[in-house]
Amino acid sequence: MNITIRLNKELSYPKTTLRNKTGKKTVITLSKNEKITGMVYISKPSKPFTHSGLQLLFIGTNNERGKVIQFHTQTSLLAPPGQIENETNFPFNLTLNAPFDSYLSNNVQISYCLKAEFLKSSKIAQIIQVPPIGVIDLFIKTYSSSIKGNPIVDELIQPNLKLKVEINSNVFDTKGIIKGKILFEEVNLENPIEQVNLVLIRKERFEQEVIETKLFTLEVMDGSPEDLITIPFNMFLKPLSLSPTTSSQISTFSLSYDLRINLETEKKRLFKKWEVILFRKQDRKKKYSQKHHLPNHQSIKLTQQPLSRCDSVDSLNESLRESSAKNSLQLLQLVDNSSHSSLSQNTDFGIELGVSSRQDSSEDLL
């Protein structure tokens, strides 16, 4: 006897692909307060099966480096005690109340699932040693409205070095762009600056430990800057598949991000960092059925006019030339716009992209 869980209109839900060392799997994505309906299907048992009730559970667990904690449970009774002789099914209607978003990294896994199981009883234990259960994994995402942040304006001052950093905000959409500029007001160091980098750092906080991971390094400048030079930069976050900052602590775990500027010299690294907040913004794209794309125009009567072969061919060639010219212009604009992006498409977490760290150099906090 098998138990299977199916959501109504299951194919219409967005999907999230989860990857780990063993492979990848695609799961249904839901919001933390989503209302779901569906059916629990039970195959025909080999002989009449007496049970003490069937329940559906929505479970949230936190696997923190091998230590598993179940932090959330919702229970719904689908069937009272009874007997199953043939293939049957039970409908369900459930409003989720997930306290946190799903999250997956090498150190932490916050996950959710729907689980259908029979209530434990001595009768079931006598019939079968391992009662059947049905489980489907879910991925929970929280969407927020725009959060107002504050611009970051800071001066970095050292002997013979003065520069000003301006960043458009300290709050960003996980698919947004970090925009800013660096103004070098005075540069007269004994060891010239060789590179200027901007690094996005993920900070996973545990009870007595903080694990920092460099998610992306943007090379702002290669070479020594001159006085009174301004360098703009754009860091694109969308390809990094980031999770939002956690507003509350999950067990002993919380998640935050830092933005750090590095000034590389021959002998040491000068740096300064600021905490930034990430949130997940609702995607404005909507799926429309085919009928939405068909305008409801009134019927138009067309009058047929005889055309000579020469006229029709010339008209057709002129239309083709105009369409070709228009497409070529759009392609040139697309290529021109894409050339301004300095973001690598490699999205492997834990790898510093574009710049190799200097193990033999010292670091100074500006």
* CATH code for the domain in which residue 95 is found: 2.60.40.640
Taking alpha carbons only, the member of 285, 345, 346 closest to residue 14 is: 285
Looking at the chain, the whole-number percentage of residues with pLDDT higher than 70 is: 72
Run of H or E including 323: helix 309-338
Run of H or E including 329: helix 309-338
Are 7 and 137 members of one domain? yes
| pLDDT band of 172, cuts 50, 70, 90 | very high
- Please state the φ and ψ torsions of residue 289, each to the nearest 5 degrees: -75, 170
For 95-139, how does the pLDDT look when each residue is reduced to its tens digit (9 = 90+)?
Answer: 999 988 999 888 888 999 999 998 876 454 444 545 678 899 999
Are 176 and 215 members of one domain? yes
Q: Is residue 332 part of a domain?
A: no
Q: Say if strands 103-104 and 67-79 run parallel, antiparallel, or are unpaired.
A: unpaired
Q: ∠ CA(113), CA(114), CA(116), 5° rounding?
A: 140
CA 153 to chain centroid: 28
Q: Is residue 308 part of a domain?
A: no
Predicted pLDDT of residue 329? 40
Predicted pLDDT of residue 237? 95
Are 103 and 178 members of one domain? no
Strands laid side by side in the 35-42 sheet: 3-7, 35-42, 88-95
Are 177 and 89 members of one domain? no
The domain boundary, picked from 120, 141, 162, lies at 141
Tell me how far apart the alpha carbons of residues 36 and 146 are, in angstroms, rounded to a whole number: 26
Are 44 and 85 members of one domain? yes
Residue 213 CB burial class (10 angstroms; 0-12, 13-18, ≥19): middle
Are 128 and 206 members of one domain? no
Q: Is residue 323 part of a domain?
A: no
Are 31 and 177 members of one domain? no
- The chain-wide mean pLDDT, for the chain, equals 76
Are 8 and 35 members of one domain? yes
Q: What's the residue count for the chain?
A: 366
The domain boundary, picked from 141, 165, 191, lies at 141
In this structure, which amino acid lies at residue 113?
Answer: C
Greater model confidence, 279 or 266: 279
Greater model confidence, 360 or 165: 165
Residue 69 CB burial class (10 angstroms; 0-12, 13-18, ≥19): middle
Predicted pLDDT of residue 226? 77
Q: Average pLDDT of 1-28?
A: 86
In this structure, which amino acid lies at residue 202?
Answer: R
Tell me how far apart the alpha carbons of residues 26 and 14 are, in angstroms, rounded to a whole number: 10
Buried-state track 220-232, b at ≥16 Cβ within 10 A, e below 16: bbeeebeeeeeee
Cβ distance 85 to 45 under 8 Å?
yes
Are 19 and 126 members of one domain? yes
Q: Average pLDDT of 203-223?
A: 89
Greater model confidence, 24 or 204: 204
305 φ/ψ sector (left φ>0, alpha ψ -120 to 50, else beta): beta
Q: Is residue 260 part of a domain?
A: yes
Tell me how far apart the alpha carbons of residues 141 and 102 are, in angstroms, rounded to a whole number: 7
Q: Is residue 101 part of a domain?
A: yes
Buried-state track 189-208, b at ≥16 Cβ within 10 A, e below 16: beeebebbbbbbbbebbeee
Whether the predicted pLDDT of 75 surpasses 80: yes
Are 109 and 26 members of one domain? yes
Q: Is residue 342 part of a domain?
A: no
Tell me how far apart the alpha carbons of residues 232 and 196 are, in angstroms, rounded to a whole number: 12
Greater model confidence, 355 or 364: 364
Whether the predicted pLDDT of 259 surpasses 80: yes
What residue numbers bound the domain in which 45 lies?
3-141
The domain boundary, picked from 102, 122, 141, lies at 141
Q: Is residue 76 part of a domain?
A: yes
Run of H or E including 125: helix 122-127
Place of tokens 């199916």: 6
Least confident of 48-52, 55-59, 194-198, 245-249: 245-249
Are 173 and 129 members of one domain? no
| Number of independent structural domains in the chain | 2
Are 173 and 239 members of one domain? yes
Q: Is residue 115 part of a domain?
A: yes
